[in-house]
Amino acid sequence: MKILVCKDYAQMSEKAARIFAAQLILKPNTVLGLATGSTPEGMYAALVEKYNEGKIDFADVTSFNLDEYYQLPAENDQSYDYFMKKHLFNHVNIENYNLPNGMVEDVEAECKAYEERIEAAGGVDIQVLGIGKNGHIGFNEPDSVFIKNTHLVELTPSTIEANSRFFASEEEVPKKAVSMGIGTILKAKKIVLLASGEGKAEAIAKTVYGDIDPMVPASALQLHNDVIIILDEAAASQLKPEDYTIVK
Ligand code: PGA
């Protein structure tokens, strides 16, 4: 794992955007793996800026998001479809974007079809990830086993509580989601994990130093050979300075 520490959220977002922009320049038909949450918002804004400056083009890009709520219509302003349009898709020339469809009757078939769509596109070239305070990635919550493929997830009380800040009340937060599995995520050729703020410091330390343990889903990233973790100083506060590079 390569760990980069930035002075703040803005620098972390710009650094991540530069890595994604370089990928798009080198491979215009890149398959992107995308994430929602407040962490990547700054990176998406920086990518939109680079697109507006004519530095990057999404015409040949395909994207696959990590997850989507179950039974929450795309039009709902809390759906991840809505989030991606608001922060990225409506502002760039991407046409071929994909999120798991949480509105289907046969969710098992949708999970299988999502895996097949990723494979048919050639697999994810570069995947961005946030991390939950409990170490989740996508909606892969702490569990007794790593779940391999795209699947229906029962959200944990802590995730429901964390997400309730976006809904009028905790009751309105969906209790299930469709998420790529740990195996799906690990198949990406390159992974960029972003974390910002003191609240993520412990999850990051466990991801980097802990055992590979399904109770800390992000610890599975130790099994991947091309992971870049980009942090702000607060999220890096439980790491040893000799283990990271400071971004100038
Ligand atoms: P956040 O969520 O970016 O809103 O902190 C990250 C996550 O829970 O995966």
Nearest to 93 by CA among 128, 57, 125, 126: 57
The tokens for 229 are 């973790």
The Cα–Cα gap between 125 and 58 comes to 14
Amino acid at 225: N
* Among 13, 38, 232, residue to substitute to test ligand 1 (most atoms within 8 Å of Cβ): 38
Confirm if 178 and 153 have CB atoms less than 8 A apart: yes
Amino acid at 185: I
Q: Which atom of ligand 1 is nearest to the CA of 194?
A: 3
pLDDT tens-digit series, residues 13-53: 999 999 999 999 999 999 999 999 999 999 999 999 999 99
Nearest to 231 by CA among 84, 125, 131, 142: 131
Between the alpha carbon of residue 136 and those of residues 14, 142, 164, 235, the distances in Å are 24, 6, 17, 15
The tokens for 91 are 């502002």
* Among 9, 131, 167, residue to substitute to test ligand 1 (most atoms within 8 Å of Cβ): 131
Q: Give the residue with greater pLDDT, 25 vs 167.
A: 25
Confidence of residue 4 (pLDDT cuts 50, 70, 90): very high
Q: What is the mean pLDDT of the chain?
A: 97
pLDDT tens-digit series, residues 201-223: 999 999 999 999 999 999 999 99
User: Given phi > 0 = left and psi -120 to 50 = alpha, else beta, which region is 37?
Assistant: left
| Residue showing tokens 């955007």 | 17
Buried b (16+ CB within 10 A) or exposed e, 17-54: bebbbebbeeeeebbbbbbbbebbbbbbbbbbebbeee
Determine phi and psi for 19, rounding to 5 degrees. -65, -45
Confidence of residue 166 (pLDDT cuts 50, 70, 90): confident
Between strands 67-69 and 176-179, the pairing is antiparallel
Q: Which atom of ligand 1 is nearest to the CA of 137?
A: 9
**What is the rounded average pLDDT of the residues 178-183?**
98
Give me the pLDDT at residue 158, please: 84
**What are residue 128's DSSP bridge partners?**
192
Total Cβ atoms within 10 A of residue 236: 26
Between the alpha carbon of residue 137 and those of residues 9, 149, 192, 214, 241, the distances in Å are 19, 13, 12, 11, 24
Task: Give yes or no for residue 42 CB within 6 A of ligand 1.
Answer: no
- DSSP code at position 105: S
Give me the pLDDT at residue 163, please: 85
Q: Which atom of ligand 1 is nearest to the CA of 136?
A: 9
pLDDT tens-digit series, residues 100-154: 999 999 999 999 999 999 999 999 999 999 999 999 999 999 999 999 999 999 9
